[in-house]
Amino acid sequence: MILIKGSKIFWVTPFLGWLILVAVSIACKENRSHDVFEFPDQISYNLHVRPILSENCFTCHGPDANKREAGLRLDIASEAYAALKESPGKHAIIPGSSIESLAFSRMISSDPKEKMPPPASNLKLSDHQIELIKKWIDAGAVYEPHWAFVPPTKTPLPKVKNEDWAQNEIDYFILSKMEEKGLDPSAMSDGLTLMRRLYFDLIGLPPSSEVLDNLEENGMDPEAVIDRLFKSAAYGEKMAVSWMDVSRYADSHGYQDDYYRTQWPWRDWVIHAFNKNMPYDQFITWQLAGDLLPNASKEQLLATGFNRNHKITEESGAIDEEYRVMYAIDRTNTLGKAMLGVTLECAQCHDHKYDPISQKEYFQTYAFFNTVAEWGIEEKTPGFSKKSPAKYPLMEISDKDVKELLQFINMPDSVARVNRLMAGMTKGTNYNSLLDEAKVLKVAVMGELDSTRNTYILERGAYDAHGEKVEPGVPASILPFPDSLSKNRLGLSKWLFDKNNPLTARVFVNRIWQELFGVGIVNTPGDFGLQGNLPINQELLDWLAVDFIAHGWDIQYLLKKIMLSSTYQQSSIVKKEHLTLDPENKYLARFPRLRLKAEEIRDLILASSGLLNKEIGGPSVKTYQPEGLWEAATSGRGNLSKFQLDTGKYLYRRGLYTFIKRTVPPPNMMLFDASNRDACEVERLKTSTPLQALVMMNDPVVLEASRVFAARLLKKDPKPEKGIAYAFYSIIGRKPDETERKILSKHLTSFLEEYSSDNKKAKKIVDVGRYPLMDDIPVEKHAALAQVITLIYNLEASITKA
């Protein structure tokens, strides 16, 4: 059976079920170097050889001193060229002579005892890889420093044939690669599509039909639209979404009984900071070290909540030190992944296997985060019961603070706050203390110990295996820590933003690119190290990074720069040659079509139906989810053991505000690849499963929005067919064509007939969700139009950014 018609390449057989769809949607992350099958004239160490050595050799002959075999190190030229300790007179690599290079002869040996890598390692070099290494050695075995550890510089713009196409610098870099590959750029996107793209990328919401009409009438100048959207408060919300993943933000502590926490004022700050267009260096410095700034303000202190968002245990049997250490490790690893794009965590138990980062350097970095005045579990600490929503060190936020200094916090009154905290809890030992505590809003923030706490290398990463004592420091191969900087988190921030730090700007610029194009220029956004993939276009990445720094780490400048390029403004229509020449769209000869994020899907549905509550910030909300999920998973303890649905306008807040109970995260968002907020994440999977279709067809979020939208349309015009085009326009962002109108009208007519003869069915269809029902609308019309709108929400185009 051919399920998928139309395309000659796509066949689905009945034997391929569940999983086949996945592959279609997964972007490949595995290609270790570009164009595997091409044989380059000039062999580059970084581009061609290092990925092979890193994958196959460095585990035993790389940076990890403890696991190094035969004393041989192949990742550093001088060591690879040196006389071999175990084979006197011989050298692993002799530049210019592969025949005489012992490393090479071991690679081509047919003796299993001699062969490298050893067969037992399950690693094997292909003939192609062996040939590359041979050519490289014969050409002089020239090593190069790892690209990402060398500070970026701006290279001159490449020459391109089609200069007219380029609107700014970005286009030169993109176009030159395209021309190399024989690809032509696509035409400019049509105006409406581009507007929808800009809206989702800047505020995470679809443009309303009124906005689109207005734009069509008065012109659609992208720059003017961008400037206007920067001023919208929804911009901060949109930018906060991915920062929540990076920051592993959640509304519960994350272990075992999984109690409620109140970190949301920190989230309000993030929205505020983006809306103020706080420069990236300041944004990060406040979050890493706001408490250490001279005369730190309450706002700066609040920003440090970033590093207290990690999971915190309340399991009474836990060993305090084990968990305290885990929190410092979490912060260290988050710094690595989020800001440096380096897998620091691989050096926690031993020297890094691939990157030049020693275990000692790992714990030197860890030392910056090891002096927080915190406990692993707080149970026995006077003044803070284990049920406290915020953990020590913490800050208290008074009504006065909110009126004066922290106006961006959306603070509900204390009654509402207490109710929220006590939800599902009516009695119990902690009831009274909790009631007292709830009256004051508390947020866990950073704060240093008064006394010193020494840091040791933890052998094998074990919390109680103290090794050598270390001082705060950083991996020197990235950039040595200048003596002039103080050895605390503030110094660390300065090191991050030192003009010679090769990673910070690249990593952030790459993530912004990923946000807009779905895939970063480096498609391993958390790993710029030796095992990470090479940038598809390093000159572009470096140009953007240098430009970003030169413009004061201005995030809106960066966004606008990219959005005003032809690259960004291209059409997303897929041509046949795209699929044959560049099926993954690595070279961006078209704008990629991307499924919306979980939050954006929700926001699209609420916004287009008119249900959206536009309030900014405040405590997270519990919206529709299937019954019994929290109850089935809980031990019965804890103030989140029972799910209590929010009411009224709180049901219609943006996806960003959906309550994240870590142990049972909201299923409709998880099915669309949202993060469970266990740890820092810099990228979401993009998968496609039948369960997503079930959500779109049956989630009350969709069904309620459909019937509310239908009612709204019927109020305006009692003829249901009049509503179709408007609904389509509001959801898809363009007007339906003739074919689409016909199919949708047919759908409507058929349901009108069905419901006219069976009113009961129609009543059931509109009986979904808590939003008040409008009784004065004929139910058969209401239900039939709701069916049409649900159909539109389920279209591929609806939840796709095109």
Partner 1 sequence: MEKEILDHGLNLNRRHFLSKLSLGLGSAALGSLLIPDLFRGNNFGGNGELGKSLPHFAPKAKRVIYLFQNGAPSQLESFDFKPKLRDLWGQELPDSIRQGQRLTGMTASQSSFPMVGSFCDFQQYGQARAWVSSLFPHTAKIVDDICIIKSMHTEAINHDPALTFFQTGAQQGNRPSMGSWLSYGLGSENNNLPAFTVLLSKGNGNGQGVYAKLWSNGFLPSAHQGVQFSNGEDPVLYLNDQQGMTKADRRKMLDNLAALNHHAYEKIGDPEIQAKVAQYELAYRMQTAVPEATDLSKEPDSVFEMYGEDSRKPGTFAANCLLARKLSESGVRFVQLYHQGWDQHGNLPNEMTVQAKDVDQASAALVKDLKQRGLLDETLVIWGGEFGRTNYSQGRLTQDNYGRDHHPRCFSIWMAGGGIKPGIVYGATDDLGYNITENPVHVHDFQATVLHQLGLDHERLTYRHLGRKFRLTDVSGQVIKELLV
User: Cβ 195 to partner 1, closest distance in Å?
Assistant: 17
Question: Of 228-236, 285-293, 714-722, 753-761, which part binds partner 1 (CB under 8 A)?
Answer: 753-761
Residue 415's identity, in one-letter code, is V
Q: Tell me: does residue 530 bind partner 1 (CB under 8 A).
A: yes
What would the two tokens of residue 497 be? 């933003």
- Token pair belonging to 164: 């007219």
Stretch of 510-518, 559-567, 607-615, 674-682 lying at the interface with partner 1 (CB under 8 A): 674-682
SS3 469: strand
* Token couple for 169: 């610098």
Using CB under 8 A as the binding rule, whether residue 23 contacts partner 1 is answered as: yes
Q: Is 676 in the site for partner 1 (CB under 8 A)?
A: yes
- Residue type, position 299, single letter: E
Residue 17 sits in the site that holds partner 1 (CB under 8 A)? yes
Decide: helix, strand or coil at residue 459. Answer: helix
**Residue (309 or 663) nearer to partner 1, CB:** 663
CA 744 to chain centre: 36
| Residue with smaller CB distance to partner 1, 260 or 269 | 260
Of the pair 226, 574, the CB lying nearest partner 1 is at 574
Q: Which of 532, 655, 720, 723 binds partner 1 (CB under 8 A)?
A: 532
Q: Does 796 bind partner 1 (CB under 8 A)?
A: yes
Torsions phi, psi for 463 (to 5 deg): -60, -30
Among 633, 647, 715, 757, binds partner 1 (CB under 8 A): 633
Residue numbers 154-193 binding partner 1 by CB under 8 A: none
Does 382 participate in binding partner 1 (rule CB under 8 A)?
A: no
CB of 746 to partner 1, least distance (A): 7
Say what angle helices 233-246 and 264-275 make with each other, to 10 degrees: 130
Among 276, 471, 693, 753, contact with partner 1 (rule: CB under 8 A): 693
| Torsion angles phi and psi, residue 555, rounded to 5 | -65, -40
User: How do 441-444 and 594-595 pair as beta strands?
Assistant: unpaired
Considering beta carbons, is residue 380 or 715 the nearer one to partner 1? 380
Q: Which two tokens stand for residue 461?
A: 């990463």
One residue of 305, 520, 665, 720 binding partner 1 per CB under 8 A: 665
Q: What is the 3-state secondary structure (H, E, C) of 46-111?
A: HHHHHHHHHHHCHHHHCCCHHHCCCCCCCCCHHHHHCECCCCCCCECCCCCCCCCCHHHHHHCCCC
> Which of 331, 447, 451 lies closest to 394 in space, CA to CA?
447
**30 is an interface residue for partner 1 by CB under 8 A:** yes
Q: Is 465 in the site for partner 1 (CB under 8 A)?
A: no
How many angstroms separate the Cα of 494 from the Cα of each of 8, 298, 345? 56, 21, 22
Position 19 contacts partner 1 (CB under 8 A): yes
C-alpha triplet 209, 215, 220: angle, nearest 5°: 140
**Of residues 265, 290, 491, 526, which one binds partner 1 by CB under 8 A?**
526
Which stretch in 20-28, 81-89, 404-412, 599-607 sits in contact with partner 1 by CB under 8 A?
20-28
The DSSP secondary structure of 773-797, one letter per residue, reads P-TTS-HHHHHHHHHHHHHHHTSTT
- The three-class DSSP label of residue 455 is strand
> Among residues 652 and 751, whose Cβ is nearest to partner 1?
751
* The only residue of 472, 555, 787, 801 in contact with partner 1, by rule CB under 8 A: 787
Rounded CA-CA distance 356/530 in Å is 9
The yes or no reply on residue 797 touching partner 1 (CB under 8 A) is yes
Residue from 169, 459, 498, 678 touching partner 1 (CB under 8 A): that is: 678
- Residues 145, 482, 626, 718: which binds partner 1 (CB under 8 A)? 626
Residue 109 binding partner 1, by CB under 8 A: no
Nearer to partner 1, 24 or 224 (CB): 24
- Residues written for the chain: 802
Residue 529 near partner 1 by CB under 8 A: yes
Q: Is 757 in the site for partner 1 (CB under 8 A)?
A: no
- Nearest alpha-carbon partner for 93 in 137, 47, 49: 137
- Of the candidate residues 44, 167, 208, 794, the single one contacting partner 1 (CB under 8 A): 794
Query: Cα separation of 213 and 223, whole Å?
Result: 18
For residues 573, 577, 579, 581, the Cα torsion angle rounded to the nearest 10 degrees is -130
Distance CA 622, CA 446 (A): 28
Q: State which residue, 30 or 217, has the beta carbon closest to partner 1.
A: 30
> Which of the stretches 13-21, 109-117, 223-231, 359-367 binds partner 1 when contact is defined by CB under 8 A?
13-21
| Residue 89 binding partner 1, by CB under 8 A | no
Q: Does 476 bind partner 1 (CB under 8 A)?
A: no
**Considering only residues 45, 81, 255, 456, which one is a binding residue for partner 1 as defined by CB under 8 A?**
255
- State which H helix or E strand residue 396 sits in: strand 394-397
Residue 347 has a CB neighbour count (10 Å cut-off) of 28
**Contact with partner 1 (CB under 8 A): which of 158, 191, 667, 778?**
667
Stretch that binds partner 1, among 97-105, 162-170, 208-216, 314-322 (CB under 8 A): 314-322
Q: Are strands 594-595 and 800-801 parallel, antiparallel or unpaired?
A: antiparallel
Residue 2 within binding range of partner 1, rule CB under 8 A? yes
Binders of partner 1 among residues 759 to 778 (CB under 8 A) are 760-765, 767-768
Q: Does 791 bind partner 1 (CB under 8 A)?
A: yes
688 belongs to the binding site for partner 1 (CB under 8 A): yes
Residue 428 makes contact with partner 1 by CB under 8 A: no
The DSSP annotation for 707-727 comes to HHHHHHHHHH-S-HHHHHHHH
Is 652 buried (19+), middle (13-18) or exposed (0-12) by CB count in 10 A?
Answer: buried
Residues ≥6 apart with Cβ < 8 Å to 477:
149, 355, 356, 357
- CB nearer to partner 1: give 379 or 615: 379
Between CA 595 and CA 802 the distance in angstroms is 9
Place of tokens 């009543």: 763
Among 97, 689, 749, 756, binds partner 1 (CB under 8 A): 689
Q: Which of 583, 647, 716, 718 binds partner 1 (CB under 8 A)?
A: 583
Site for partner 1 in 112-151 (CB under 8 A): 122
Q: Does 6 bind partner 1 (CB under 8 A)?
A: yes
- Tell which one of 130, 157, 233, 318 touches partner 1 (CB under 8 A): 318
Q: Does 734 bind partner 1 (CB under 8 A)?
A: no
Segment near partner 1 (CB under 8 A), from 179-187, 404-412, 471-479, 697-705? Answer: 697-705
**572 binds partner 1, rule: CB under 8 A:** yes
Q: Are strands 594-595 and 394-397 parallel, antiparallel or unpaired?
A: unpaired
| Residues forming a β-bridge with 260 | 252
